[in-house]
Structure 1
Amino acid sequence: MQTTQPTHTTAPRKPEGPEEPGRATGRRRALPWTVIAVWVLVLLAAVPFAGKLGDVKRDTAVDYLPASADSTQVAKDQAALPGGDTTDLVLVYRRDGGLTAADREAAAAQVARVVDRHATVQGRAPRAIPSRDGSTVMYPVALTGLTDETERADAVKDVRAELADHPKGLSVQVGGQGALRADSQEVFASTDGTLMFATVGVVAVLLILTYRSPLLWLVPLVVVGAAAMASMAVVYGLVQGFDLVVTSMSSSIMTVLVFGAGTDYALLLVSRYREELRRHRLPYDAMRAAVRGCGPAVLASCGTVAAGLLCLLAADLNSSSGLGPVGAVGVVCALAAMLTLLPAVLVLLGRRVFWPLIPAYGSEPRARRGLFAAMGSSAGRRPGTVLVAGGALLGALALGILNLPGDLKQADTFTERPESVVAMQTLADAYPESSSQPISVLARSERAGDVLDRAGGTKGVERAERGRSGGGWTEIDVYAKAPPQSAGERDTIHALRDGLHRIQGADAHVGGASAQELDLEDTNSRDRAVVVPLVLLAVLLILAALLRSLVAPLVLVVAVVAVWGAAMGLGGLFFEPVFGFAGIDPGLPLLSFVFLVALGVDYGIFLMHRMREESLRGADVAEAAVTALRTTGGVIASAGLVLAATFAVLGSLPLVMLAEMGFVVAVGVLLDTFLVRTYLVTSASLLLGRWVWWPGALSRRPAAPGAVAPRRAVPADRG
């Protein structure tokens, strides 16, 4: 096949600008050192605050609930009652074949000791509730006076330790919402270190394979580490100054974003810097040209991710709205480090940082026909066929959404079953006819009697008991006849809300664990309807400003939305059949959409921005598209692998919601990198021709004389 050189030359160019040699040399030497000195000062100030971020994380129920929901108001009001937010436990005693008299005596004695050592709700003694088959007895226990999640988790550990000594053959488990929260707290506490080490290890391996240099891989890794430290300090400052809610989930995702996005920016900059070193004698001049060349694309990339994340501020779900600014801070810090600190370090290290593949001044890269030139050639021969076939493949994958499991229940939130989950299953088996966890009702004390009577008479309610009172509010525990988180219990919650909200002056609110999950589902549906259009609009505006076009942004956005659908479809094929996940987190569709649209557009930005550069130099769309694919294909493939791998690290954490998030985003990034950007976006650009730049000036520019049609020639792969 005939090959044609790109329309622009790669011959060495003189450094730009009329600077005097002495002044220019002084600036070249001083500026990198100045930048590094500034970053050293920033890090010295940031490290103490970054270390405090873990102390201000909030993982209470309220922090993961909708701001305006009924159940959220209950959780807030419970914290204001005497004793604060209760730690509801269920002590479960079971012996296969039936409990003996000695078992019951031992259980009663242990529960009495627990009551003596811990504060209970207004001194109320726990009541033994035996199962009908006589195999199990449960004791609901409510601990009060515990001020934070760490203290509650320690109390649960103490209770479990006190129950460790029991008759042989008698199983003793601590369940209930308090135990579940304590187990969640323990899991979250272990995620930071695990996630950080795993992410660093994955990124290091991929950088070594990409650069094939004993030194170069370390530079971006150190710089992205500095960005991570700075982002944690900034987020801590936002918590102190603006009471920003930071959860363990948002902190984990910020870490992934900093390493994933930061490494992507580094790969693009280093690749362009390597090109420019062949054209410029001095590393300073080469870096200045590299930053000018890829800077707009990197800025637009960061802008789309940050804007997409900030759209989450419109979400009603507290954990989603808090994630927006936390994630945005991470990608902005990554951008700042990669456009300032990384260039400074690379300039000071000089060309030898690329050893053994040092790009010599005036040299030409080895001409070869590479993978991405071949991909461009195949897309160019039959762009229509490629586009239709690729679209059909994505559509077929998206059908897997029909196989997605239902919403994730609390008992299924862990990849491994802790004691609290085992206890919930034991209770469900032993008490199939009733609920073991209360539905919490808060009402004005002056109308508490009416609320208690109405709640007790509501269809589906087994019993209702008056709880604590204080500050003008009274807590009522309502037990449904149906098992927890069943359709019957949901009907009971709806019936309670319909009836109790009608009592004038009661201001009754219905909450508890099951009511919270019901509100989560409703709120996530509302948030998707609000946030998704905002994300699409924000991304389209940024792309239109960068590419001076409306058609090209639409092509990119449609492509990444199709990728999201295909990735969710693959989730339907893998989550339950392969991974054994019993449900999906209600927030997964929205958060995965935000990440895949914002991050997926990045690679389209890198490709289309380079394609626009080639078009401005006189190439027609066909030649510009294939040249852009050839020159950016390798680095974007590396960036896609890094980003996918960093999100895949979330799968190593013992939480189903993070494992699902990591899978969907990682798969989506790979689809976007190796299918959509490489074939579909290129094919669509070839079919549209110069109309891809409409209504910009490039759409009105005639093809350059002697332009090569995509079916007959492909530029030589010079990467």
Structure 2
Amino acid sequence: MARRPVRLLVPALLVLVWLAVGGGLGPFAGKLTEVSTNDQAAFLPQSAESTRVLDVQERFREGETQPLIVVWTADGAAVTPGQTAAATRALAALRGTTGVAGTPSPAIASQDGRALQGIVQLGPDVEGSLGEALERIGAAVKVDGLRAQLAGPAATRVDLSDAFAGIDGLLLGVALLAVLIILLAVYRSVLLPLVIILGAVFALGLACAVVYFLADHGVVRVDGQVQGILFILVIGAATDYALLLTARFREELATGGDRFAAGRVALRRSFEPIVASAATVALALLALLLSSLTNNRALGPVGAIGIVCAALSALTFLPAVLVLLGRAALWPAKPRPADAEGHGIWRRVAGLVDRHPRRLWIATILPLVGLALFAPQLNARGVPLDETFVNDAPSVAAQATLGEHFPGGSGQPAVIVAPAARAAAVTETARRVQGVSGAAPASRSGRPGDTPKVVDGLVLVEATLTDAPDGDAAQDTVKRLRAALAAEKGVLVGGYSAQRYDTTETAKKDTYRIVPVVLGIILLILVVLLRSLTAPVLLVVTVALNFLATLGVSTLVFTHVFGFTGSDASVPLYGFVFLVALGVDYNIFLMSRVREETARHGAREGILRGLVTTGGVITSAGVVLAATFAALVVIPLAFLVQTAFIVAFGVLLDTLVVRSLLVPALVRNLGPRAWWPGRLGRAGAGGTDHAERRFSPSPS
């Protein structure tokens, strides 16, 4: 008895350390917004042609600016000359006001005479108060009898900021509530769900503090999307790791061991699969550093930091609390043996796997292959502006109004950088390109037809596109423009549509570059963990098939249920990294236990016992992770809604079908060959003649 206080000292100190971490670093989860940017131009590939055009534009603007488009409409009537003059005066009056750079353009009437548009360039001094600046400008440009709306990149940025406004509170609250409800249903205890959630929150606080420090010093970039994914990733991963360790702790308590022995055995048995799982996801995310897109590169280290913090919390804070609380952590539920936990549905599933493994894996794999055939039909050329925001956004409505009365690309033209001596020839060539409604060099006054502005021997030719700048047709026009001007030395084509085109093309190249690296990383970790070659290859193939099937389902759902005409260019890559890495997670949890049981009972008993003992906990972990990713839908952006669906559906498909039926059936069919060329690959290793033993999962 005298040793008990000493044995409690280490776990008590660990809990105190984590309480200090949570109290001191927890607020950083709400401070990440301070170092975040939602300027999409900041994430363009540095080598892209549109990025080089941006660099040239900075010299013309004499400082960083962003355009705001003002559009006026008269309800069902033509705009009068007096209203046009009033709109021009309102724009001119903005010169010199806070946030406005240079002289706004005059109001220009549409061909149908029922609308006006003007462009206001906003300077860098509005950063941080962009919303207030737009409110002030919106009030200043009101004209009697006309409705004024604000469109363009500046207005879109404000709507993006509004969309991410609830990321610190609403997203985190919804995710934690979903986890709490699931844990209460799974454990039917009072303290344990709260302990697991507390550990996840502590891990998130630590991760956010590290990311905040790195972002504040310019080491990584963070935007709202990366921030939201970090929150979900940490909460989901920390909960998954906690479920695995807690399940082993309950098993050990059920065998009659005391809390110290149970904690020690649970940690020892869970350490390797949790570390392997965390390493798989972290290294897969770090593979995003190979991307040429800055936001993909940002997610890599940010996500890896979150995963490491989640694993650290699960391997230190959670076992310490479980040892301190003992059986009280499970109250009012009581610990039950592993065979009792899986006595129901998982014993029946294991019996099905045992009796008909070949029929089962064939019947499972064929529908997955059929769904995977739809995957190539996913249009990943970007989401149009009117679909970017799931809910109505003012900038989207304004852009739609602009498109009704002006050429689709009005206000956001393709920007062509050309030598001043070739300006006339370049302008004429651009005008002849299909999809271009007009082209003219940018003038010093901002008025069409005035003297072109020349900086360092260069001019900017603005080509207004016929189609909306955010659609596939505009990207095709950019391709034709570049092809038509390829013979002109020193000519570059940029602008909003070109940025979207360059981002899409870069994302495709990133996918081809990163996918093999991620698969190689996962395969290597599985080989080291399972000490075989056959099983790791099998697992990688199944999770890749699960991803393709999920992408096929997503293609159908996005088009026919959600009504999306396309997906962001990075959605397939994000879905691949998360689904393949996290899918291998659950197979690591399963197969590490199967290997443990195979070493003691043989190949046949090993897969069946492993399935029964891990079925409940892994399925619970999958449901938790799916629910946390589903919480991303509270942020009304198509990118996050699509990513949330792919990961949530894919995780459920993996845990309920691939990991529960396909993998066990394949391993059962292969028998000892699944562990080739390791020691377990020799028939008879770990037991007697298992082929004749009847499956009966009893405590070892």
After TM superposition, where is structure 1 displaced by more than 6 Å over at least 4 residues in a row?
A: 468-471
* Structure 1 residues 364 and 240: alpha-carbon distance in aligned structure 2, compared to 1, 3 A threshold: closer
In the alignment, the residues of structure 2 paired with residue 204 and residue 367 of structure 1 have an alpha-carbon distance, to the nearest angstrom, of: 21
- Write out per-residue CA displacement over residues 72-128 of structure 1, whole angstroms, 9 at most, x where no aligned residue: 2333454465452222122111124332425434433433333463565543x4133
SS at match of 1:623: helix
Of the structure 1 ranges 402-411 and 232-241, higher mean CA displacement relative to structure 2 is found in: 402-411
**Counterpart selection for 1:195 from 159, 168, 171:** 171
| 1:62-461 to 2 correspondences below 5 Å | 62-79=41-58, 82-101=61-80, 103-115=83-95, 117=97, 122-123=102-103, 125-146=104-125, 148=127, 150-163=128-141, 165-168=142-145, 170-241=146-217, 243-279=219-255, 281-359=257-335, 366=340, 369-401=343-375, 403-405=377-379, 407=381, 408-432=383-407, 435-442=410-417, 447-451=419-423, 453-458=425-430, 459-460=432-433, 461=436
Q: For the Cα contact (< 8 Å) 1:490–1:518, is it kept in 2?
A: yes
SS at match of 2:190: coil
- Write out per-residue CA displacement over residues 546-576 of structure 1, whole angstroms, 9 at most, x where no aligned residue: 0001111111111111111111111112112
* Structure 1 residues 425 and 187: alpha-carbon distance in aligned structure 2, compared to 1, 3 A threshold: same
Match of 1:714 in 2: 695
| 1:285-684 to 2 correspondences below 5 Å | 285-359=261-335, 366=340, 369-401=343-375, 403-405=377-379, 407=381, 408-432=383-407, 435-442=410-417, 447-451=419-423, 453-458=425-430, 459-460=432-433, 461=436, 462-466=438-442, 472=456, 476-485=460-469, 489-498=474-483, 502-504=487-489, 506=490, 508-617=491-600, 619-684=601-666
- Write out per-residue CA displacement over residues 44-70 of structure 1, whole angstroms, 9 at most, x where no aligned residue: 543465553221112222333223211
SS at match of 2:373: helix
1:435 Cα shift?
A: 3.7
RCO comparison, higher one (Cα < 8 Å, 6+): 1
1:681 Cα shift?
A: 0.3
Amino acid at match of 2:394: E
1:500 Cα shift?
A: 5.4
SS at match of 1:90: strand
For structure 2, which runs of at least 5 residues remain unmatched after alignment?
Answer: 445-452
* Structure 1 residues 30 and 465: alpha-carbon distance in aligned structure 2, compared to 1, 3 A threshold: same
* Structure 1 residues 62 and 131: alpha-carbon distance in aligned structure 2, compared to 1, 3 A threshold: closer
1:238 Cα shift?
A: 2.0
- Write out per-residue CA displacement over residues 200-258 of structure 1, whole angstroms, 9 at most, x where no aligned residue: 11111111111101221100001110000000001112224452111211111011110
* Structure 1 residues 335 and 239: alpha-carbon distance in aligned structure 2, compared to 1, 3 A threshold: same
* Structure 1 residues 185 and 705: alpha-carbon distance in aligned structure 2, compared to 1, 3 A threshold: closer
Q: For the Cα contact (< 8 Å) 2:200–2:234, is it kept in 1?
A: yes
In the alignment, the residues of structure 2 paired with residue 621 and residue 599 of structure 1 have an alpha-carbon distance, to the nearest angstrom, of: 25
RMSD (CA atoms):
2.6
- Give the structure-1-normalised TM-score: 0.89
Q: For the Cα contact (< 8 Å) 1:372–1:633, is it kept in 2?
A: yes
Q: For the Cα contact (< 8 Å) 2:259–2:323, is it kept in 1?
A: yes
1:141 Cα shift?
A: 2.4
- Write out per-residue CA displacement over residues 615-653 of structure 1, whole angstroms, 9 at most, x where no aligned residue: 111x12111111001100000010000000111111222
In the alignment, the residues of structure 2 paired with residue 367 and residue 33 of structure 1 have an alpha-carbon distance, to the nearest angstrom, of: 30
In the alignment, the residues of structure 1 paired with residue 158 and residue 190 of structure 2 have an alpha-carbon distance, to the nearest angstrom, of: 45
- Write out per-residue CA displacement over residues 575-602 of structure 1, whole angstroms, 9 at most, x where no aligned residue: 1211122311111111100000000001
Q: For the Cα contact (< 8 Å) 1:120–1:141, is it kept in 2?
A: yes
Amino acid at match of 2:179: V
In the alignment, the residues of structure 2 paired with residue 368 and residue 529 of structure 1 have an alpha-carbon distance, to the nearest angstrom, of: 41
In the alignment, the residues of structure 1 paired with residue 258 and residue 625 of structure 2 have an alpha-carbon distance, to the nearest angstrom, of: 32
Q: For the Cα contact (< 8 Å) 2:360–2:665, is it kept in 1?
A: yes
In the alignment, the residues of structure 2 paired with residue 629 and residue 481 of structure 1 have an alpha-carbon distance, to the nearest angstrom, of: 59
Corresponding residue pairs, total:
685
Q: For the Cα contact (< 8 Å) 2:99–2:133, is it kept in 1?
A: no
For structure 1, which runs of at least 5 residues remain unmatched after alignment?
Answer: 1-20
1:511 Cα shift?
A: 1.8
Match of 1:18 in 2: none
* Structure 1 residues 568 and 113: alpha-carbon distance in aligned structure 2, compared to 1, 3 A threshold: same
Q: For the Cα contact (< 8 Å) 1:550–1:695, is it kept in 2?
A: yes
In the alignment, the residues of structure 2 paired with residue 640 and residue 195 of structure 1 have an alpha-carbon distance, to the nearest angstrom, of: 19
Match of 1:5 in 2: none
| 1:12-91 to 2 correspondences below 5 Å | 25-47=4-26, 49-79=28-58, 82-91=61-70
**Identity, % of aligned pairs?**
38
In the alignment, the residues of structure 2 paired with residue 152 and residue 477 of structure 1 have an alpha-carbon distance, to the nearest angstrom, of: 28
Match of 2:679 in 1: 697
Of the structure 1 ranges 425-434 and 569-578, higher mean CA displacement relative to structure 2 is found in: 425-434
